Structures are given as C-alpha cells and as structure tokens.
C-alpha cells in the first residue's frame, strides 16, 4: 500500500479489513487485556480504576451515587484539587525537572516548562487572581489563543477552586459576551493579540467590544503577546498579566480542596435551539475519566512526548492537551500555528525534532495532508511515533489508510475516538493494545460504557441498521448539567429515550450510528441540525439567523459540504438584487462577527426561494443533496418543486 489509488474506496462503513495491532505495540501497551467483562461484572466499582489514578485529599466513600438520576454524583465524599493532581504531586514523585509543556510558537519560537516551572507560574497566577478578588466558585472566562498562558491560567483557576470558561479565541466579541453573560462571569483573561500564519490579530479590541456589552462590571487581565507590534493601553479595571505575576513572584497558594462534584469548568457548545449550552464538568469524575482514557486509549506514559494537535479552546484540548496528559505527568506539546505555515511539512518537522511518541488530530487535518501529498511527511523521520489518534468526525477508510501509511509508517495503530463535549472524554474507541481496528469504524464502546442504537420508539435496531446512539449507563466523565439550567439538561439529553417512571435513564447523544455483527460502531454524524465544521459544532440556526439579519436577506438555509469543512449558504433576497457580490460580503461579515471566522460560508447561492415542504419547513436534506451533487431523494413533499432545478444550476455555476 502506498499511493492514493491503492487504498480502498470510501463509503460510510468500515472497509471490513480488520487489522491487528503490531506485537511491538501490544508488548508495551498500558492496557493489554480485554477489560470489558471485568468492567461488566464489577460495574460501577470498576471505575475505581479511574479514581485511583488521582490523589485525593479525602477518599471517596463510594464510586457512584445514583440516587437522583440523571444527576449522577461520581466519587461522592472525595475531595481533591485538579491543579495539585496535574502539578504538585509530580514534583513530589521526582518529576520536577521533567518537561510538562513544550510550546512551539510562530516562526520557531519555543518555550518549555518543566513541572516545577509550570508549578511556579501557576501559583503566581493563582495568587494574582486571588488578589484581584476571584473567589472560590467565581466563573473566570479565558479568551486566549494557543499560548502557554492558556493552560497556566486554567490551572491557576483550578487551584483556587474558580471554574474556568474558556472561549475559543477565534470566536467573535458577540459570542464572547453571550457566554460571559450566561455564566455571570466577572473576570476575563485575554491578550493583546496573536499571530496566525504570520499576521498579527487584535484580540484585545474584540475583548473590549464584548466587555462593553456584558452586564457585569468586568475585571480584565491582559497577556502581552505581541509587544511593540501591537501596542495597547490598559484602561480602568484592566491589569497586565506579567506585572501581576511579578508582584506575586515565588508566592505559593495552597490548593483548595474541592468536592468531587464541584465544577472544574464550563464549556459552551452550540445547541440546536440557538442559545449556546454551558456544559458543566466536575472536578473528580471528569479528571479521573480524562486521565483514565488518556492512559487506556491514547496509551500515554510519563516518559512520552505526546501531541494533541487541537485547540485548547475546545473540549479536545481541555481533556487531551491539558488535564489528561498533565494528570499522567507526561510531556504535552502545544502548537500555536497552522499545519501549512511556513510550509506544509510543519507538523512533521515538529514530530521529528521533538521525537513525538503519540499524535492525535482530526480527520479534516488528515484530509488536508492527503491533498497536499505524501512528499511532506516523507521529508521527515517519523519513526518515533507509536500511536495515532483521530477525533471530531468520522475518518473515512481512505484517509485512515493514508494516515497509517504515510504518518504511521504502516505500523502505528490508529484509535478513532468518538466522544463529545458532554461526555468529557473518549467513550467509543478501540483499546489499541487489545482490539482489532476496522478502518472507518470507531470501534466498540470502551469497557464500562454501554451503547445502544435505537429507533425513534426506543427499540434496539439490528446490526447494519442506523439508529440513535444512546448511552445506557452513566460514566465518570459525563457532564453534570448545563450551567444554571438543569431542566434544559434533562430536556436536551435525557428525556427522549428515558422512562423516569420505570427508573430507566438513557443519554441521547444526538448522533446516529450503525453497528456491525461484532458491535463495532460506525458513526454517521448528528441527527439534528448542527453542522460539524472542521470538527467543531456550529448550530445551523445560529448561522442562519446571523445571515438573515443582513439587510436585504429574506431567508437563509445553511448546509455542510460532504468534505466536512465547507458551509454552503442558500439565500433568498427581499426582491431583486443586482449587487450579489456586495451582499455576499455583508453575509460573510455578519457570520464572522456573530459567530466567528470558522463558520464563514465558502459558497453563497442566491435563489428566489428556498425549497419548502407543504408545512413550510425548509428541506435541508434536499439542499444537502444538491450541494454534494448527490441524486435527489423524494421531492414529492415539496411545495415548490420547480425551484430545485434553478438551485442546481446556480450551484453548478459557482
Ligand atoms: O457528531 C459527533 C462528532 O463530534 C460531535 C461532538 O462534537 P464536540 O462536542 O465539539 O466534541 C468534539 C471532540 C470530541 C459528536 O457528537 N464526533 C466526534 N468524534 C467523532 C465524531 N464523529 C465520528 N467519529 C468520531 N470519532
């Protein structure tokens, strides 16, 4: 195998050719026995194995309290501090001079923090936050790009028991303000600006705009990332990060003992009904699960150099750049830049130079690597790699084979990990030293996780049939609730398939999937109208309402292109428009301002009308088929079938 022509064709199923992990991998794997039966027999006590990976101030009384479902309490009675578990205990175990974070910035700028150095800076930052007035349980919003101050401020918050709410740095001022208001957050940690592809971006002006519209009287801390390149002036209630740390030089802060179910952080994720959802994660259950899955699935060892090439602004970075790897005492790599700057071999150059052992990325990146060609990974010695991971969307067999062949030297096992912001950590994946891999299938549920695929009547579907992906049992990494909205938590995730009168509770993931005869799961994506743009969820409703807010626009429907990265916007105007280009620019601006550049439509198609059912619902499914040049399904329910041909030719003309 080698060239693109030789790899199997695609399809939304696995390619049936299961592959065993190589003996050399199995020999050294953290987990080399199938734990499924053991976990079945001993559930829920089996999760003690996750709890044991942490150091507790007070031991937990039991593993699970399920008295009040679906509000499960993991490790009740236990108390701990997440920053202590990610830092202090490694100093005590002789790892103080071991690298905790290896950061790679723009143009080869580099910073390494040993566990000791990270401990010092986290403590100084924690002392500074206290002095600014941050108290236990205050939500601190962090709006920082991929610079070391992002994990440092997260851990400083954790140290003083203040939940953090990290907002992805690329999101707009409006998105930041909505999230701060929703969390009643009075503290903002941000920076002057940052580099992307060599250009300086102004982050502070976005933060300023957000603060103007936030209800609370906000205290802001600003990291000076760009120095003279982007001078900024601090206003009232604004503090310079570096100066604060200097004022607290070498101070230490006693880590606050938190109850296992106290909130460690909040993470906003798009919902179908517009308002973003503030997913609440616990200190004990979440951290134990992040560490356990990082050890079991990503096979992380303390002596490894491990790289998850995601952004910490999303859950993947929280669990698998920061909390999981640091809890295990490993070296975690953080990369500020993009994979193709200054050249398309940037990632492979880093893998070679740092001798990375485990590499974890998203299929959208793998597809880009494929498009660029094998010559880029071939320029480098990637033999340090032992395991590859994939997350965020289905990885099609062709991309899977390419990844294994050209990045993994034909040898590395690949873990295709399914999970969600709400699950806190990986829930479906092969265990790499144990299970066979089937390209195109994420694999079986992890030990201890019970997946059922159901039809809309909550009846299990047969192998090969598509069903709603549901989880029958709680697991330690699960969200505790939605911030300040228990009711919405139950409504969004539990109501659909649970039978509370019978005492039966079941988590609805919102994804559809199919199982094969061996129980391997092929994930088919969201069942509702959330777009997965380059691995990030964006609600179609949020997008459409941003576009429809532009003057002159009557209605909009957005769908995703089959390559997963592109947004197509179908737009009908109010009356005839002769300046489509100007209108298109205004649409793009509106999306960038209200949601952020990641959601910017690649293609805007103007149409006199959108295809609608007789009941007036836009037929998105049909637009998806048109977008992806697929045969059109049944159009008999359409009120305006004549419009379809017009839209098809408009798309072809693009
Ligand atoms: O649709 C699934 C898809 O990403 C969704 C979760 O997105 P988010 O909460 O942003 O978390 C992303 C990082 C975990 C899921 O509902 N998804 C995630 N991993 C996979 C996947 N789809 C298919 N295969 C995966 N491995």
Query: 445: closest CA among 281, 280, 297?
Result: 297
> What is the domain-level CATH number for residue 534?
3.30.300.30
The reply to whether ligand 1 has any atom less than 6 angstroms from the CB of 479 is no
Please tell me the predicted confidence (pLDDT) of residue 82. Answer: 99
Give nearest CA residue, ligand 1 atom 11. 420
Residue 621 falls within a domain, yes or no?
Answer: yes
The reply to whether ligand 1 has any atom less than 6 angstroms from the CB of 364 is no
The reply to whether ligand 1 has any atom less than 6 angstroms from the CB of 414 is no
Task: Write out pLDDT tens, residues 375-416.
Answer: 999 999 999 999 999 998 888 888 899 999 999 999 999 999
Report the distance separating Cα 420 and Cα 271, nearest Å. 13
Residue 618 falls within a domain, yes or no?
Answer: yes
Query: 402: closest CA among 447, 444, 367?
Result: 367
Q: Which atom of ligand 1 is nearest to the CA of 536?
A: 10
Please tell me the predicted confidence (pLDDT) of residue 272. Answer: 41
Residue 565 falls within a domain, yes or no?
Answer: yes
Residue 577 falls within a domain, yes or no?
Answer: yes
**Contact status, residue 359 vs residue 335, Cβ threshold 8 Å:** no
For range 5-14, the mean pLDDT? 42
The best mutation among 297, 393, 400, 534 to test binding of ligand 1, ranked by most ligand atoms within 8 Å of the C-beta, falls on 393
Residue 590 falls within a domain, yes or no?
Answer: yes
Residue 612 falls within a domain, yes or no?
Answer: yes
Report the distance separating Cα 317 and Cα 309, nearest Å. 8
Residue 541 falls within a domain, yes or no?
Answer: yes
Q: How far is the CA of 91 from the centre of ligand 1 (A)?
A: 35
Half-sphere exposure of 360 (CA within 13 A, CB side): 28
Domain that holds residue 578: 529-653
> Exposed/middle/buried for 404, CB within 10 Å: 0-12, 13-18, 19+?
buried
Domains of the chain: total: 1
Report the distance separating Cα 203 and Cα 220, nearest Å. 13
pLDDT at 9 over 80: no
Please tell me the predicted confidence (pLDDT) of residue 12. Answer: 41
Task: Write out pLDDT tens, residues 142-152.
Answer: 999 999 999 99
Q: Pick the range with the lowest mean pLDDT from 198-202, 225-229, 341-345.
A: 198-202
> Exposed/middle/buried for 529, CB within 10 Å: 0-12, 13-18, 19+?
middle
Write the ipTM: 0.99
> Exposed/middle/buried for 614, CB within 10 Å: 0-12, 13-18, 19+?
exposed
pLDDT at 61 over 90: yes
Task: Write out pLDDT tens, residues 513-571.
Answer: 889 999 999 987 767 666 777 666 676 767 887 887 888 887 888 988 876 568 899 99
Please give the model's pTM, rounded to 2 decimal places.
0.84
What strands, in cross-sheet order, belong to the sheet with 414-417? 110-114, 99-104, 331-335, 305-308, 358-361, 387-391, 414-417
Which has more confidence, 288 or 614?
288
Residue 632 falls within a domain, yes or no?
Answer: yes
Give nearest CA residue, ligand 1 atom 18. 392
The best mutation among 324, 419, 510, 598 to test binding of ligand 1, ranked by most ligand atoms within 8 Å of the C-beta, falls on 419
């Amino acid at each position: 195998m080698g060239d693109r022509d030789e790899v199997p064709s695609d399809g939304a199923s696995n390619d049936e050719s299961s592959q065993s992990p190589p003996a050399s991998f199995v020999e050294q794997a953290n987990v080399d026995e199938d734990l499924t039966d053991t976990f079945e027999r001993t559930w829920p006590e089996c999760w003690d194995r996750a709890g044991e990976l942490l150091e507790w101030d007070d031991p937990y009384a039991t593993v699970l309290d399920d008295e009040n479902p679906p509000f499960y309490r993991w490790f009740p009675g236990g108390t701990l501090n997440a920053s202590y578990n990610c830092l202090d205990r490694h100093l005590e175990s002789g790892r103080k001079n071991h690298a905790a974070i290896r950061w790679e910035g723009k143009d080869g700028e580099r910073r390494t923090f040993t566990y000791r150095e990270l401990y010092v800076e986290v403590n100084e930052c924690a002392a500074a936050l206290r002095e600014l007035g941050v108290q236990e349980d205050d939500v601190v919003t962090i709006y920082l790009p991929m610079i070391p101050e992002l994990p440092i401020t997260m851990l400083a918050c954790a140290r003083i028991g203040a939940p953090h709410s990290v907002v992805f740095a690329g999101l707009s001022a409006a998105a930041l303000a909505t999230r701060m208001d929703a969390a009643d957050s009075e503290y903002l940690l941000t920076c002057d600006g940052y580099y992307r592809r060599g250009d300086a971006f102004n982050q502070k002006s976005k933060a300023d705009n957000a603060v103007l519209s936030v209800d609370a009287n906000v205290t802001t801390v600003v990291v000076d990332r760009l120095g003279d390149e982007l001078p900024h002036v601090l206003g009232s209630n604004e503090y310079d990060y570096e100066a604060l740390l200097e004022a607290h030089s070498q101070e230490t802060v006693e880590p606050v003992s938190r109850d296992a179910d106290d909130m460690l952080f909040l993470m906003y994720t798009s919902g179908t009904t517009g308002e973003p959802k503030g997913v609440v994660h616990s200190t004990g259950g979440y951290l134990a699960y992040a560490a356990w899955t990082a050890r079991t699935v990503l096979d992380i060892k303390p002596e490894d150099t491990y790289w998850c090439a995601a952004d910490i602004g999303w859950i993947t970075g929280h669990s698998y750049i920061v909390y999981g790897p640091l809890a295990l005492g490993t070296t975690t790599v953080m990369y500020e830049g993009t994979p193709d700057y200054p050249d398309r071999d940037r990632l492979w150059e880093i893998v070679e130079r740092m001798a990375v052992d485990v590499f974890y990325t998203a299929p959208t990146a793998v597809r880009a690597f494929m498009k660029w060609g094998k010559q880029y990974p071939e320029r480098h010695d990637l033999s340090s790699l032992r395991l590859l991971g994939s997350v965020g969307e289905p990885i099609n067999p062709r991309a899977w084979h390419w990844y294994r062949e050209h990045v993994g030297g034909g040898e590395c096992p690949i873990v295709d990990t399914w999970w969600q912001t709400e699950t806190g950590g990986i829930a479906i994946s092969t265990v790499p030293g144990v299970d066979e891999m089937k390209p195109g299938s994420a694999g079986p549920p992890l030990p201890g996780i019970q997946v059922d695929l159901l039809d809309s009547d909550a009846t299990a579907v047969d192998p090969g049939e598509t069903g709603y992906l549901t989880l029958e049992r709680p697991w330690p990494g699960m969200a505790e609730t939605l911030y300040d909205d228990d009711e919405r938590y139950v409504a969004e995730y539990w109501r659909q398939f649970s039978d509370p009168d019978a005492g039966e509770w079941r988590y609805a993931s919102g994804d559809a999937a199919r199982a094969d005869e061996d129980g391997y799961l092929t994930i088919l994506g969201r069942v509702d109208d959330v777009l997965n743009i380059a691995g990030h969820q964006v609600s179609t409703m949020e997008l459409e309402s941003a576009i429809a807010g532009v003057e002159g626009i009557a209605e909009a429907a957005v769908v995703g292109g089959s390559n997963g990265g592109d947004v197509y916007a179908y737009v009908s105007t109010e009356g005839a428009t002769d300046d489509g280009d100007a209108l298109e620019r205004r649409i793009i601006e509106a999306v960038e301002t209200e949601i952020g550049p990641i959601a910017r439509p690649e293609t805007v198609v103007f149409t006199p009308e959108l295809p609608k059912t007789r009941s007036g619902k836009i037929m998105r499914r049909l637009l998806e088929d048109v977008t992806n040049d697929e045969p059109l399904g049944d159009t008999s329910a359409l009120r305006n079938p004549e419009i379809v041909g017009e839209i098809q030719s408009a798309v072809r003309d693009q």
